[in-house]
A and B are shown apart, each in its own frame.
Chain A
C-alpha cells in the first residue's frame, strides 16, 4: 500500500517537473520575443527619427534659404528698411531682433513642401509660439582703416562687419526642430576712398620725367600758331601724336571737388615741370568757347612789335577770376616795367622777327635753368628749346576761359616764360634780362635822353601791391617754374598763376587733401605709398590689409565671376555690389551696355590681366559723336544721354565700376568708349609695358569718362595711340575725350551690403515635444 502511495507521489512529482520545464521554456521564449520585438520597435523608431530629421532639415534649410534670398534682395535696395538699417549706425541694434525690418512672408513654394506626401504626418511652422527670428550679431563692429585714412565726419560707422543670425523652427511628429544659421556680412564702400577723387593719379611720374637724368617725356608737344600738331619737328617724335587733355566738365561746373583731382608725384622730391602751352592771341574772345589750344596766350609777332614799341600790353578781361597775363610793375619816377607771361610755343620761332630785341636778349643768360640747358643742348638753339609744351594738359584745353578749378597734388609746377621790359620816362627802354651775376646792389639803370640823369629799376614800394622786400631780381626775364622763384618771391609770383592750381597757386600736399566726403590721409600715408598702405600692408591685429577686410566674395575664375554678376546672360547686367576678388585673368570680351537697373557698381580686384571692351550706359553711343571740334553736338549727346525727365542724372556713384590689377599686370582697353569706370594699376612691374593701354583694335575716337590710376603714364606710347585714333585732322581739337564722372566725388559715398554666400555657423537641434 505504501509502495503504491510512493509511486503515485513520484509520478506526481515528475508531472510537475515537466510542467515547470514547459512553463520555463515558454517564459524564456516569451521574454526573447518581447526583447526582439522591443529591439525591432527601437530599430523602427530610430529609422523614423532619422527620416524625420532629414525631412525637417531640408524644410528648414529651404526656409532659411528663402529668408536669405529675401534679405539679399533687400540688402542693396536703398529704399528697403533693412538697407537703411544696415547702412546706418547699427550700434543700438547689436544682438537685437530685427525681423520686423525684413518684411518677409513665406512663399507659396515653401507651403508646397508642406503639402507633399509626409501624410499622415504634418510639418507645422510659423506657429505663434515658434516664430522666425532674425538677429543682428553682437559681433558687429566697424571695419578699421589700418591708420591709412581717416573717415570723414559722420562716416566713421559707415563700413562695418558682423553677422546675421537666422533662427527658425518647425514641428514634425511631435518633435520640435530648430535651425540656427549665421551669415557673416559686411558693409563697404563701392569705391576706393581717396583714389576715387582723382581723375588722374600717377604716383611715380619720375618714370616719365626725370630732371636729374634729363629725361622728359612730358614736354613733347609742338603746336603751330593755329593749334595744329606739328610732326617731325626736329625729329623728337616722328609719329603723329595727340595730347592727353584732362577736360573740364562740359556744363560750366566750377566746383573743384567735382572736376576731378590730379596727382603727379613720387617718393622723391623731384618736382614735375609742365610747360604751359602758348598760342596765338585770339582777339575774338568768347566766353562760351571751350576750344583754345593754349594755357597762356602768346603775343603775336605784330603784338610783340607793339609791345616792344611800348604800346599798352594786352590785358585779358578779368572775369570772375583775376588772371593776368601781363603786368605793369610800378617803379619810382612814374616809370613802369612791363612783364609779359608767355607759354611755350612754336610761335616763339618767329615772334621776335623784325624786333629790336630777340629772345637771347632776354634769356640767354638764364643759365641756371636746367631745362633750358638740357633742351638747348638737344636743339642747338635757345628758341627751339622754347617750342615744346606739355603733352599732358591737366587743366583742360583752355583753363582760362571759363576758368575751371582743378586741384593738382604733388610737386607739379607749370613752366612759362616771363619777358620783362622796362622803360623809364625819357629812355629808349631795355629788356630786363636775366643774370645770375647781378646782385641786389647792382641795380640796372638807363640814361635819360639828352640828360645825365639815370633812372634805376627801383620799385615803388609805396604801392600797396608790393612789400618792402621786393627787389628787381624777382622780375628779371626768365623761364619760370615753381622752384625757380625764391621763397621771398612766392608772393609776387602769385599773379603769374605759376602752379595752375586754381586760385591758391600752392602745391597741394597730402595734408591739404580735401575731398567732398571728408576722407583724409593719416599722417604716415603719402599718396605715393597709398597702394602699399591700402592694398598690401597688413594690420598686426588681424593680419589683413584694408582692402582684404573689405572683400565680400572670392571667385575662383572669371567664369564664376561673370556668372555671378549676370554678365553671361545679357551685356546689360553687371552687379558687383561691393568688393570682389577674381583669381586669374579677367576678360570682358563683350561690350557692356549697362542698364541702370541691372548694374551696381563696386571694386573688382583681379590678380591677372584685365581686358575690357566698351562700357556704355544703357545705350550704344558712337565715339565719333564725342568731338571737341563739334562741341555743341557732343554736349547735346551727353545731355540727352544723362538727363532724364528734366533732372540731371549723371552716372550715379553706385554705378561706378573699379577694376584693380592687383599684381600689376596690364589693363587693356579694347573699346573706344568707357563710361563710369576707374582703372587702378599701381603695382608696377617695371617691365616697360604700358600699365593701362588702349588695344590695337581701338581705332576711333577715345572716350574715357572715368578715372585712371597708375604708377607711370608711359605718355609717349599713349600720345602715339591717340594720334592713330583721331578722325579728322591734326587739330588739337580732335583729341581723346577724357572727363571725370563728377558723381565719383560725392559727399556721401555709396555703400554696398555684402552677405557672404556661405554660412558661418549651422546648428540643427531636435527636442521631443513631451520633454
Chain B
C-alpha cells in the first residue's frame, strides 16, 4: 500500500528545515548586502559632497574665508548660504529635471533626487586659525542616514584642509 519510493513526511520536514536554516543567512546576507550597497552609495555620495564643499571653500581668496561666519550648516538641497556654491550645482540640476509623476505611479526624477538627498546635510567649520601666519583650518562634514527614517542611523564623512593667505615680508 505504501509507496516506498516517496520521501517520508519526516524526511521532507527535516529537509525543509535544513534548507530553511541554510537559506536564512543567505537571505540575511542578501538583504544586508543590499542595505550596505545603498549605504555605501550614500557614503560615497557624502564623500563627494564633502569634497565639493571643501573645494568650493578652498578655492576662495583667504580674505573671503576669513570673513565667513562659520560654522555654516544646512541641507544640501537648501539654497546656498554665504555665497557657497551648492555641490555640483545640485539645485540647478534638480530644477532642470522633470517633476511630473507618471500615470503609472513612477516617481519623477526630481522626486527621486529629493528623496535621495533630503537627509543629507552639511556643516562647515573652522577647526583652527592662525591670523599671524594667515592659516585657516576648514572642516567639512556631510551627514547622511543609512535608514531614511531613523535618525539614529546617521553617519558622516569629515574632511580637513588648510587655507593659506599670502604673507609678505
Among the stretches A111-119, A157-165, A276-284, A321-329, the one at the interface with B is A111-119
Partner of A47, one of B33, B43, B51, B167: B43
Q: Is the CB of B25 within 8 A of A65?
A: no
Among the stretches B14-22, B95-103, B111-119, the one at the interface with A is B14-22
Decide yes or no whether B134 CB sits under 8 A from chain A: yes
Determine the distance from Cα of A37 to Cα of B32 in the docked complex, in whole angstroms. 10
Partner of A29, one of B7, B22, B168: B22
Residues of B within 8 A of A (CB): 4-5, 7, 11, 15, 18-19, 22-23, 25-26, 29-30, 32-33, 36-37, 40, 43-44, 47, 50-51, 54, 58, 61, 63, 127-128, 130, 133-135, 137, 139, 157-169
Q: Is the CB of A29 within 8 A of B162?
A: no
Q: Is the CB of B44 within 8 A of A113?
A: no
Contacts of B50 in A (CB 8 A): 54
Question: Closest CB-CB distance, A18 to chain B, in whole Å?
Answer: 6
Q: Is the CB of B127 within 8 A of A65?
A: no
Whose C-beta in chain B lies nearest to the C-beta of A114? B160
Decide yes or no whether A10 CB sits under 8 A from chain B: yes
Interface size on A, as a range, is 35 or more
Q: How many A-B residue pairs have CB under 8 A?
A: 115
Contacts of A10 in B (CB 8 A): 4
Q: Is the CB of B164 within 8 A of A47?
A: no
Also in contact, A112 and B128, with CB within 8 A (given A43-B40, A69-B164): yes
Q: Is the CB of A36 within 8 A of B30?
A: yes
Report A566-587 residues with CB < 8 Å from chain B CB.
575
Decide yes or no whether A428 CB sits under 8 A from chain B: no
Determine the distance from Cα of A59 to Cα of B58 in the docked complex, in whole angstroms. 13
Q: Is the CB of A107 within 8 A of B161?
A: no
Q: Is the CB of B134 within 8 A of A29?
A: no
Determine the distance from Cα of A47 to Cα of B19 in the docked complex, in whole angstroms. 34
User: Which label, helix, strand, loop or mixed, suits the secondary structure of the A interface?
Assistant: helix
Whose C-beta in chain A lies nearest to the C-beta of B63? A563
Also in contact, A50 and B163, with CB within 8 A (given A39-B33, A73-B168, A109-B130): no
Q: Is the CB of A69 within 8 A of B165?
A: yes
Q: Is the CB of B47 within 8 A of A51?
A: yes
Q: Is the CB of B33 within 8 A of A18?
A: no
Also in contact, A69 and B36, with CB within 8 A (given A7-B4, A47-B43): no
Contacts of A29 in B (CB 8 A): 22-23, 25-26
Q: Is the CB of B25 within 8 A of A58?
A: no
Contacts of B37 in A (CB 8 A): 43
Determine the distance from Cα of A113 to Cα of B126 in the docked complex, in whole angstroms. 11
Q: Is the CB of B167 within 8 A of A69?
A: yes
Determine the distance from Cα of A113 to Cα of B26 in the docked complex, in whole angstroms. 42
Determine the distance from Cα of A21 to Cα of B15 in the docked complex, in whole angstroms. 10
Q: Is the CB of B18 within 8 A of A22?
A: yes
0/1 string, A681-724, CB within 8 A of B gives 1: 00000000000000000000000000000000000000000000
Determine the distance from Cα of A411 to Cα of B78 in the docked complex, in whole angstroms. 71
Q: Is the CB of A563 within 8 A of B61?
A: yes
Partner of B40, one of A36, A47, A600: A47
Q: Is the CB of A25 within 8 A of B166?
A: no
Partner of A36, one of B15, B29, B44, B54: B29
0/1 string, A105-146, CB within 8 A of B gives 1: 001111011001100000000000000000000000000000
Also in contact, A22 and B163, with CB within 8 A (given A29-B23, A54-B51): no
Determine the distance from Cα of A72 to Cα of B23 in the docked complex, in whole angstroms. 65
Also in contact, A36 and B33, with CB within 8 A (given A47-B40, A563-B63): yes
Report A617-658 residues with CB < 8 Å from chain B CB.
none
Q: Is the CB of A51 within 8 A of B157?
A: yes
Question: Closest CB-CB distance, B63 to chain A, in whole Å?
Answer: 7
Q: Is the CB of B135 within 8 A of A109?
A: yes
Whose C-beta in chain B lies nearest to the C-beta of A569? B63
Determine the distance from Cα of A40 to Cα of B128 in the docked complex, in whole angstroms. 37
Contacts of A14 in B (CB 8 A): 5, 7
Also in contact, A109 and B137, with CB within 8 A (given A29-B23, A59-B160, A72-B167): yes
Contacts of B160 in A (CB 8 A): 55, 58-59, 62, 113, 116
Contacts of B133 in A (CB 8 A): 107, 109
Decide yes or no whether A510 CB sits under 8 A from chain B: no
Partner of B18, one of A26, A50, A117: A26
Starting from the known contacts A69-B165, A73-B166, A110-B162, 5 additional A-B residue pairs (CB-CB under 8 Å) come to A26-B18, A69-B134, A72-B166, A113-B161, A116-B158
Determine the distance from Cα of A187 to Cα of B43 in the docked complex, in whole angstroms. 46
Contacts of A11 in B (CB 8 A): 4
Partner of B15, one of A22, A68, A72: A22
Q: Is the CB of A109 within 8 A of B162?
A: yes
Decide yes or no whether A377 CB sits under 8 A from chain B: no
Enumerate the 10 nearest inter-chain pairs by beta-carbon distance, A residue then B residue, closest first: A62-B162, A69-B164, A73-B167, A58-B161, A77-B169, A109-B135, A29-B22, A113-B160, A112-B128, A65-B164
